[in-house]
Structure 1
């Protein structure tokens, strides 16, 4: 397995991104952390370099919906670190509302952030990998990408299905190259996003155990991984065949 020393994580100021940054730092990786909240990135970078003085952590304030800036920032980071070995497309939004209930703006923001901005990040990362002839693209999708889902999850699930399909297409295009592409489909992992969501989540994994499972999966570099593997891998089979009426009840 190639050594992926320099890792970019978008959406790194909280939630899954922050958790992955801590785990990768503990493994000795140099990190480039991107998010809108610069103050939180600076605090995280200070924490990580204090705990792990042998690593390097650089930060960039980045709104992934500013597509031109995505390309600029990735280019800056490749120059500053010398190369980008792994890019984790993690920045996302879970702001959806039921379609047709007067919340088009919220649904549009979700789709733009999760899919269109995800495309921008993939374009910038893969362009760099093609030039280098190596790299690892990691796309953080969601278990909800497996089916169309009702209520507040409709636009979110559609956006995650889109980014999953995008990652599959990129992987197919790069199949005979040294560039690897991994799609992560997390189940319920404790984060700011799940904290804001309504309803019971009996399968919710803790933030620390969830981040550990994500990093473990990423380091294996599979084509696709459900995280945590239990119970989400077996549930993925059920998810594809569950009648819509039952699916609606548990969504």
Structure 2
């Protein structure tokens, strides 16, 4: 059992619900995000329902890369090691290129890829020293193809994260290091990042959607499209359908 789990971006959305569901399973949790007051409320909720679960909180803006390394190591010292790190923090602001939204597209790219790179680096330094651990990155089904409008920079950054994760897995295989590496690619799961999106096909509610994510993480799948239905068959089609059809999902 990967007892000690660190989750970034745990103050809302998928990260917050993952924390709840891992608490049900008895995991100790190292939770970080920018909004500490929301983390405090989550910690109190978990403490009330699962008093035997240890929960530690730290403020973290993942775009502060020095802070990523510092916070991960502080958690490692506090817990006596880390068994799993879930690189979950992300954002989806932006719009069509050339429409004056560069600063938002840039921030999305930096948060979803450069900051994720920092988190992977920090996690793997700890795992390599332990010679054990499970690195999990949270990408998106949108990473499979280029997407229009607000999904443009988002999908590109998540595609970069998929490739980064695969490269890390290849590195672990090449070196024979016993570190598991997983990339989770959720379909449309209702969360704070998409709460204003209407009429999206196959949108799944937060709790069942995250349940599928947690199951895939615990199975340590290399790549998982979740929920499996309809996203596993849809992933096969998305990679092959004409762009005119795929772009209607954006």
Normalised by the size of structure 1, how large is the TM-score? 0.97
**Counterpart-to-counterpart distance in 2, 1:160 and 1:151:** 15
Distance 1:111 1:179 in 2: 27
For 2:99, the equivalent position in structure 1 comes to 101
Aligned to 1:56: 54
Residues matched between the structures, number: 248
How far 1:250 moved relative to its partner? 3.2
Provide the C-alpha distance between the structure 2 equivalents of 1:246 and 1:4, rounded to a whole number of angstroms.
Answer: 41
Separation of aligned partners in 2, 1:9 and 1:57? 11
Instruction: State the Cα distance separating 1:226 from its structure 2 match.
Output: 0.4
Which of 69, 83, 89 matches 1:71?
69
Shift of 1:96: 1.9
Residue 234 of structure 1 corresponds to: 233
Kept after mapping to 1: 8 A contact 2:200/2:249: no
Structure 1: tracts of 5 or more residues without a match: none
Residue ranges of structure 2 left out of the alignment (5+ in a row): none
After superposition, the C-alpha distances for 1:121-156 in whole angstroms (9 at most, x for unaligned) are 000001100000000000000000001111111100
* Cα distance between partner residues in 2 of 1:10 and 1:152: 23
**SS at structure 1 position matched to 2:56:** strand
Corresponding residue of 2:33: 35
Aligned to 1:191: 191
- State the distance in 1 between where 2:160 and 2:248 align: 24
Distance 2:222 2:248 in 1: 31
After superposition, the CA RMSD in angstroms is: 0.8
- Partner SS state of residue 54, structure 1: coil
Q: 1:92: how far off?
A: 0.3
1:207 corresponds in structure 2 to 206
After the TM superposition, which segments of 4 or more aligned residues of structure 1 sit over 4 Å from their partners?
A: none
